[in-house]
Amino acid sequence: MKRRLQESENAQQEYKEKTKSVSLEERQNIVVQKLKESAQRATEAKSVRIKLEAEYAQIQAVGTNVQDLLVIPSVANDPSVKQIQLNLAKLEAEFATLKQRYLPKHPKYQQAESELTKWQSSLEEAILAVPRTIESALKSARAAEKSLDQALREQEDLALDLSKQQISYNVLAREVESDRTLYEAVVNRLKETTLTKELRASPIRVVQAAVAPERPFKPEKAKLMSRGLIGGLAVGILLALALNRIDNSLKTVDQAEEFLGLPVLAVIPQIRGIKARKNSLIVGEDSKARGAESFRTLRTALSLLGRKENRRTFLFTSALPEEGKTFCVVNFALSLAQESRRTLIVDCDLRRPSIEGILTDKDAPSPGVADYLAGLQDFKAVVQPTTHESLFYVPAGTKTPNAAELLGTTGLDGLIDEALLHFDRVIVDSAPIHAVSDTLLILNRIQTVCLVVRAWKTPRNSVRRAVQTLLELEAPLSGIILNSFPRSSTAGYGYYYDYSYRGKYYEKKA
């Protein structure tokens, strides 16, 4: 058996030397890995080439029209084009300031006008240079794809050759393994036989069999269970106190009013399934809709703040993003529209607009606030209808990189004035206060400001800083709205007892 094992090992070694492969298993792993990498790179190169061809075809269809080229994403996102646009926007703002101070023949006026013309020419040149850059990149992508396809075919041929060599190598390897197993079995058997011959009889004998006890001496289960129960209760209480101290959010109506010194206008319950935009409209014709009564309560609370003519423009904002500000805007507006009041929603969150996505199924953005402020559209062109007869909206419009400058220079005065001529109520959805400064630039024409706070989540210090900021700017802050209030909470003026009772009452009537 030993001689046979040596012969099979020698045959395996000769085959390795013949094929010049130290280990076919490791080599196969390397070849397969390289084949996967080549296929991946070839696929990526093909994807790059297809993308560049599509962009180049789109540019070729447009031609040399600068305005049409600027609409194409690959041209609009070009670094040089974006930088020139930023510089041009800055110069236009400075030129607008100069126009208010100097006449056209003033040297500073003429210098600024000349520099503005120069940058506009630079923008056109940069836009026209992008197609040549994409064409050059397309040629490089085609050459790279061809080279990678050739390398992939060569790696496939190498893998096929290696598979053929692996067949013979596996046969030799199985023979070596079989001979080694038989050899080791015989050697072990011989050792066991020799050891058995040398063993002596054991001098130990059993006098009396051992008896198992009726019950264990340890552990004492009752004592351990009582200690564990007391210890777990103590740890749970300490953990609850620690978590309550760490959590610095606003949890109840009383706590919010006492900490901020402002009234809570309404409490919006936590509603499942509103993460999807199309499920955000919970105020409908059905009075039993979950959470719908909260917005009717909010409508009533705001109507009692003063005379109707002094409460026509509303602004909803929040301290931080993701607090349900837009959710409150659309449902409050719908509650006003149900009273046959012509209501207009103005989406002034120019950086992250979402009103149009909730109210309509449009894929492309419609002209809106940004287009109106830039002078590209008039008021009638930006007002869009909804499926509700008395509800209209103005979307954010074309995305602009200088939202704060646009709002600060132009303002919403003209838009609000025209809106009040055609609508009974105007509701403005603005950006979070701590995220950007856009909200602080449009407070001068607002009659009522509502601060949306997400219960059990928003840090109270963030809310207090937002309130201080609004009060320092003399904003007409009327109160706060506690949004996404947990239904399991027992504090809050009995809101959720009312909801539970109301649901049982309607079910009984039905």
**What's the per-residue H, E or C state across 126-167?**
HHHHHHHHHHHHHHHHHHHHHHHHHHHHHHHHHHHHHHHHHH
Tell whether the model's pLDDT for residue 263 goes beyond 90: yes
- Residue bearing tokens 């602009």: 400
User: Are 186 and 261 within one domain?
Assistant: no
Query: What number of other Cβ atoms are within 10 A of residue 49's Cβ?
Result: 20
- Give the pLDDT mean for 273-295: 72
Kindly list the distances between the CA atom of residue 14 and the CA atoms of 7, 9, 10, 173, in Å, as whole numbers in the listed order: 11, 9, 6, 12
Q: Is 212 inside a domain boundary? A: no
- Which range in 201-205, 311-315, 397-401 is most confidently predicted, on average pLDDT? 311-315
Lowest mean pLDDT across 32-46, 156-170, 201-215, 491-505: 491-505
Give 383's pLDDT tier (boundaries 50, 70, 90).
very high
> Quick one: 280 and 161 in the same domain?
no
Residue 245 falls within a domain, yes or no?
A: no
> 495-509 and 292-303 are packed helices; what angle lies between their axes, rounded to 10 degrees?
120
183/276 same-domain check: no
Express each pLDDT in 73-88 by its tens digit: 666 667 776 777 787 7
Tell which residue, 48, 22, 16, has the closest CA to residue 138. 48
DSSP assignment of 81-93: HHHHHHHHHHHHH
| Per-residue CA distances from 83 to 80, 90, 113 (Å) | 5, 11, 19
Task: For Cα atoms 440, 281, 368, give the angle at the middle one, nearest 5 degrees.
Answer: 45
Helix (H) or strand (E) holding 56: helix 24-62
**Dist CA 295 CA 429 (whole Å):** 16
The answer to whether residue 91 sits within a structural domain is: yes
Please identify, among 190, 207, 223, the residue that sits at the C-terminal boundary of a domain. Answer: 190
Out of 123-132, 142-151, 471-480, 496-505, the most confident range is: 471-480
Whether pLDDT at 495 is above 60: no
Structure tokens at 377: 């559209």
Is 406 domain-assigned? yes
312 pLDDT tier (thresholds 50, 70, 90): very high
Verify that 336 and 451 share a domain, yes or no. Answer: yes
Percent of the chain with pLDDT over 90: 31
Q: Are residues 353 and 492 in the same domain?
A: yes
Whether 185 and 267 map to the same domain: the answer is no
Phi, then psi, of 249 in degrees rounded to 5: -90, 170
Asked if the model's pLDDT at residue 139 lies above 50, the reply is: yes
- Contact, 473 vs 439, CB < 8 A? no
Same domain? 322 vs 442 = yes
Count of beta carbons in the 10 Å neighbourhood of residue 321: 13
Whether residues 150 and 276 fall in one domain: no
Position 503 scores a pLDDT of 45
Are residues 406 and 376 in contact, defined by beta-carbon separation less than 8 angstroms? no
Assess contact for 397 and 411: CB atoms under 8 A: no
Among the residue ranges 182-191, 223-232, 392-401, the one predicted with the least confidence is 182-191
Confidence (pLDDT) at 488: 66
Query: What is the rounded end-to-end Cα distance, in angstroms, of the chain?
Result: 90
- Residue 257's pLDDT is what? 93
Q: Supply the pLDDT for residue 494.
A: 43
How much is the pTM? 0.53
Asked if the model's pLDDT at residue 380 lies above 80, the reply is yes
Q: What is the pLDDT of residues 369-379, one digit of tens each?
A: 999 998 899 99
Give 48-73 pLDDT, tens digit per residue: 777 777 777 767 766 766 666 666 76
Instruction: Please indicate, yes or no, if residue 448 is contained in any of the structural domains.
Output: yes
Residue 504 confidence class, pLDDT cut points 50, 70, 90: very low
Mean pLDDT of all residues in 296-317: 88
Q: Which residues contact 411 (CB under 8 A, 6 or more apart)?
A: 441, 442, 444, 445
Kindly give, in sequence order, each residue whose CB lies less than 8 Å from that of residue 2, ignoring residues fewer than 6 positions away: 183
Query: Which range is most confident: 123-127, 285-289, 342-346, 385-389?
Result: 342-346
**pLDDT at residue 496 greater than cutoff 50:** no
Decide which of 453 and 172 is more confident. 453
Give the residue with greater pLDDT, 113 vs 277.
113
Other C-beta atoms lying within 10 Å of the C-beta of residue 225: 10
Q: Look at residue 92 in the predicted model and tell me its pLDDT.
A: 74
Whether 457 is in a domain gets the answer yes
Q: How many angstroms from the chain centroid is the CA of residue 392?
A: 28
Distance CA(266)–CA(479), nearest Å, equals 9
Model confidence at 222, in pLDDT bands (50, 70, 90)? confident
In a domain, 201, yes or no: no
Question: Among 205-214, 372-381, 414-423, where is mean pLDDT lowest?
Answer: 205-214
Q: In angstroms, what CA-CA distances link 105 with 24, 91, 102, 114, 490?
A: 85, 18, 8, 12, 72
**Last-in-domain residue among 172, 190, 208:** 190
The pLDDT assigned to 462 comes to 93
Task: Summarize the confidence of residues 201-208 as an average pLDDT.
Answer: 78
Last residue in a domain, options 190, 221, 238: 190
pLDDT score, position 253: 92
Residues 405 and 478 in one domain: yes
CA 262, chain centre distance (Å):
32
Mean pLDDT, range 242-254, rounded to an integer? 82
**φ and ψ at 66, to 5 degrees?**
-65, -45
Q: 419 and 276, same structural domain?
A: yes
What the block records as the tokens of 470 is 């609004």
Alpha carbons within 13 A on the beta-carbon side of 93: 14
Mean pLDDT of the chain: 81
At 22, is the pLDDT very low, low, confident or very high (cuts 50, 70, 90)? low
Contact between 438 and 326 under an 8 Å Cβ cutoff? The reply is no
Query: Is residue 377 assigned to a domain?
Result: yes
State the Cα–Cα distance between residues 355 and 348, nearest whole angstrom: 10
Query: Average pLDDT in the 123-134 region?
Result: 71
CATH code of the domain containing 259: 3.40.50.300
Q: What is the mean pLDDT of residues 123-146?
A: 73
One domain for residues 172 and 28: yes
Q: Are residues 130 and 7 in the same domain?
A: yes
- Classify residue 474 as left (phi > 0), alpha (psi -120 to 50) or beta: left
d(CA 302, CA 402): 33
Decide: helix, strand or coil at residue 323: coil
Task: Inform me whether the pLDDT recorded for 269 exceeds 50.
Answer: yes
Closest alpha carbon to 2 in 182, 243, 271, 267: 182
How high is the pLDDT of residue 29? Answer: 59
Average pLDDT over residues 273-287: 67
pLDDT at 510 > cutoff 50: no
Structural domain of 306: 253-509
Residue 191 has which token pair?
């050792």
Q: Which range among 181-195, 210-224, 254-268, 402-416 has the greatest average pLDDT? A: 254-268
Total domains, the chain: 2
Whether pLDDT at 302 is above 80: yes
What's phi and psi for 368, nearest 5 deg?
A: -150, -140
pLDDT in tens, 330-367: 999 999 999 999 999 999 999 899 899 888 877 778 89
Residue 165 has pLDDT above 70, yes or no: no
| 3-state SS class at 410 | helix
